[in-house]
Chains A and B, each alone.
Chain A
Amino acid sequence: MFDIKLETTIHLKDIKLNKYDVKEYDDELDDGRSVIADICEIFADTEKIQFIVSGFGDIRWPVDCRFDLPIIIEQLPEIIIKMKNDDFNFSLDFYEQGIEREVIFKGDKNNVILKCLSRNSWIPEPSKIVMEKGEIYKIFNKLYEDFLYYSEILCNELANHYLFKEWMNI
């Protein structure tokens, strides 16, 4: 079973935020990834939000909100659009230093074959699993919805920035 989710250690609305400045984004240099990274930085600073990934023999991947969450969130819209079109052939790349794992998804009738590749010394065991399409869709959609919800509660201004909305549009 592969799972990927966001959790809070206290109720979301009880999380106290440090004051943050919304920086000026530059259309020439920035895109939605810039805003996503800043939102994830805010999540990380709260120390109350956990990014949790498990599977392939590792019940708790060493991932965090600051480094790994943004790179996964930025891949979500394209993946969800594909799944909505019943295309379950895509990959999810955990490319940050120290993790360096890629999960390849391949649709097969009602199921999806997940194959995990490691670019460092960690070895997935097993390296292949099968899950139902419905399960996979639910996991990704929940992560997407939760990220948007958390963003609206914790940093509404960033959640409504046009670069973010444009990137997250599905």
Chain B
Amino acid sequence: MAVGSGTLAYAPPIVVSVPAVNVSGVAGAISAEQMMQLSMMQSGGGSGYSSGGGGGGNNPTTNWKSVKKYGHTFSRHGSGQKVTKSLLDRARSTGNNQGQWLDNQGAAEFLDSLGDIKEPITVSIPEGLGQVITPTGEIIPATKAIVVPSATGIKTAYPIL
């Protein structure tokens, strides 16, 4: 039974500005097929933001494969063709934009640089680090990301427009 109604006041995510780093210079919207190819290339070998691949990277303490630390960030929003396809399906079925990181190791290092987070926040991200897939299948470079922290790390983090 209902005991109350109406909009509940809820603190909007805090916006944190982080200096942008030019990574790959992706500009404007491109097709899903083009981005799938780009995503495949980037998942294989890093982007210049880090040494990429296998969890090495510039920071030896950062390993994007850590579910303990990054939760579902990279299994659901990481780079690669398989993830792009599942995000395309998700965007179409839910009618919501879906964010995808283009360089897992670079994104993990970027997330580490944010320090200790206590509540969901919106942060500016370096150019080329992420993209957003729309319900119509359009793929657009992302400018920000939402980071949802957990008690021990991050529950999830995904790029947004």
Binding site for B on A (CB under 8 A): 26, 28-31, 33-34, 37, 62, 64, 66-67, 70-71, 93, 95-99, 113, 115-119, 123-130
Q: A30's contact among B12, B68, B96, B155, by CB below 8 Å, is which?
A: B68
Contact between A97 and B71 (Cβ–Cβ < 8 Å)? no
- Answer whether A67 and B1 are a contact pair too, CB < 8 Å, given A29-B63, A118-B10: no
Closest Cβ of chain B: how far from A152's Cβ, in Å? 22
Contact between B98 and A71 (Cβ–Cβ < 8 Å)? no
Binding site for A on B (CB under 8 A): 1-8, 10, 12-13, 63, 65-68, 71-72, 75-77, 86, 90, 93-99, 120, 146, 148, 155-156, 158, 160
Query: In the complex, which residues of chain A have a beta carbon less than 8 angstroms from the beta carbon of B146?
Result: 97
Query: In the complex, which residues of chain A have a beta carbon less than 8 angstroms from the beta carbon of B12?
Result: 119
Query: In the complex, which residues of chain A have a beta carbon less than 8 angstroms from the beta carbon of B93?
Result: 62, 64
Query: In the complex, which residues of chain B have a beta carbon less than 8 angstroms from the beta carbon of A33?
Result: 67, 71-72
- Answer whether A71 and B155 are a contact pair too, CB < 8 Å, given A97-B99, A98-B96, A115-B8: yes
- Answer whether A119 and B10 are a contact pair too, CB < 8 Å, given A29-B66, A71-B155: yes
Query: In the complex, which residues of chain A have a beta carbon less than 8 angstroms from the beta carbon of B10?
Result: 117-119
Contact between B72 and A127 (Cβ–Cβ < 8 Å)? no
Q: A128's contact among B4, B75, B148, B155, by CB below 8 Å, is which?
A: B4
Contact between B72 and A70 (Cβ–Cβ < 8 Å)? yes
Interface SS of chain A: loop
Contact between B1 and A129 (Cβ–Cβ < 8 Å)? yes
Between-chain CB contacts (< 8 Å), 21 pairs: A28-B66, A29-B65, A62-B95, A64-B94, A67-B76, A93-B148, A95-B156, A97-B156, A97-B158, A98-B90, A98-B95, A99-B94, A116-B8, A117-B10, A119-B10, A124-B8, A125-B6, A126-B5, A127-B4, A127-B7, A129-B2
Contact between B94 and A98 (Cβ–Cβ < 8 Å)? yes
Other than A30-B67, A116-B8, A123-B7, give 19 A-B pairs with Cβ distance below 8 A. A26-B65, A29-B66, A29-B67, A29-B68, A30-B68, A31-B67, A37-B72, A37-B75, A37-B76, A62-B96, A66-B86, A95-B155, A96-B72, A97-B97, A97-B99, A97-B156, A98-B96, A128-B4, A130-B1
Closest Cβ of chain B: how far from A23's Cβ, in Å? 11
Q: A127's contact among B1, B8, B155, by CB below 8 Å, is which?
A: B8
